Amino acid sequence: MTLHTRKLMVILSLLLSPLVLASALPDHRVPGGIISLPVAAATDEKPSVMFNSKPVMVVNHDDQWVAVVGVPLNQEQSLTLEVNGETTTATITPYPYEEQHIEIKETRKVNPQKNDMDRIGKEYNQMTPVYKSHSKHLAAQWTEMILPTEGPYSSAFGLKRFFNGQARKPHSGIDIAAPEGAPIIAPAAGKVVLTGDFFFNGNSVFIDHGQGLISMMCHMSRIDVKEGDDIQQGDLIGAVGKTGRATGPHLHWTVSLNNARVNPKLLLRADQPR
């Protein structure tokens, strides 16, 4: 392999890697990634930025207003924003997420029965308004996240998943392998907006970090917070478990930004394991 070829391969790997951060703000323009787009010089009046007719996060960074936008996993080619009524388009690069094949012994967790589907429908109606919310309590400054528990990554974001050979939706978060009972902490400050025992997710906690940024922690053995609690980064919220659809104890952590599931690693502080 020539030196020129090696250089090209390094450049290509950097362009494709979901962990590359263009600045202190995440900017990786792939499905499941995040776009950080400067939209105006910082003034007292924050600009209005919309995606699919819904507001997106806008923060003050280096004396600029920056739109921080989650890219849906099914987004193709480009993404159009409205900035104070004017349209702007960002190019989206396809990303080759890998496949994951999992065998689930409890077949109802793969092919739910009628009564299970009724329960799943009710739970969906609880979770959807949380993901679609856009509260205003986040400060204007960007805050990076920390990992909610310690352990190796056991399942990556965006995997094309097959349960018992049947295709399902892509993996919408990351899995962290940890022993049952290990502490789970808040990745960033926010408000607990939903807790419960869900069919697929087991014991789960949803934290609203503001401006459409939501964390969901799943499969917990114990929940130590309640809806309405205000929490700070690092506060204890519960413990690792294997409730719901899980083959063993681990934490599943989903991050949603403007109702798009994004790779949580893109939001982590620089000193956090990747």
Write the pLDDT tens digit of every residue in 112-130. 788 989 999 999 999 999 9
Cα–Cα distance, 137 to 191 (Å, whole number): 9
Per the structure, the complete domain to which residue 158 belongs is given by 99-267
Query: What's the pLDDT at 169?
Result: 76
In the predicted model, is pLDDT for residue 22 greater than 50?
Answer: no
Residues 134 and 153 grouped into a single domain: yes
Closest CA to 268 of 215, 190, 194: 215
Question: Are residues 119 and 243 both part of a single domain?
Answer: yes
Query: CA–CA distance from 79 to each of 31, 34, 69, 90 (Å)?
Result: 10, 11, 10, 5
Average pLDDT over residues 15-43: 74
- CATH number for 57: 2.60.40.1590
- The pLDDT of residue 55: 95
The answer to whether residue 214 scores a pLDDT higher than 50 is: yes
Whether 274 maps to a domain, the answer reads: no
Indicate whether 69 and 107 sit together in one domain: no
Sequence-separated (6 or more) residues with CB below 8 Å from residue 202: 218, 219, 220, 241, 242, 243, 244, 245, 246
7 assigned to some structural domain: no
pLDDT at 15: 32
Give the pLDDT score at 136: 82
Residue 141 confidence (pLDDT):
67
Band (167; pLDDT cuts 50, 70, 90): low
Confidence (pTM): 0.86
Residue 118 lies in a domain: yes
Residue 149 and residue 255 share a domain: yes
- Mean pLDDT within 219-226: 98
In this prediction, residues 218-231 reach a mean pLDDT of 97
> Into how many domains does the chain fold?
2
> Across the chain, what does the average pLDDT equal?
87
**241: pLDDT strictly greater than 80:** yes
Q: Is the pLDDT of residue 181 over 50?
A: yes
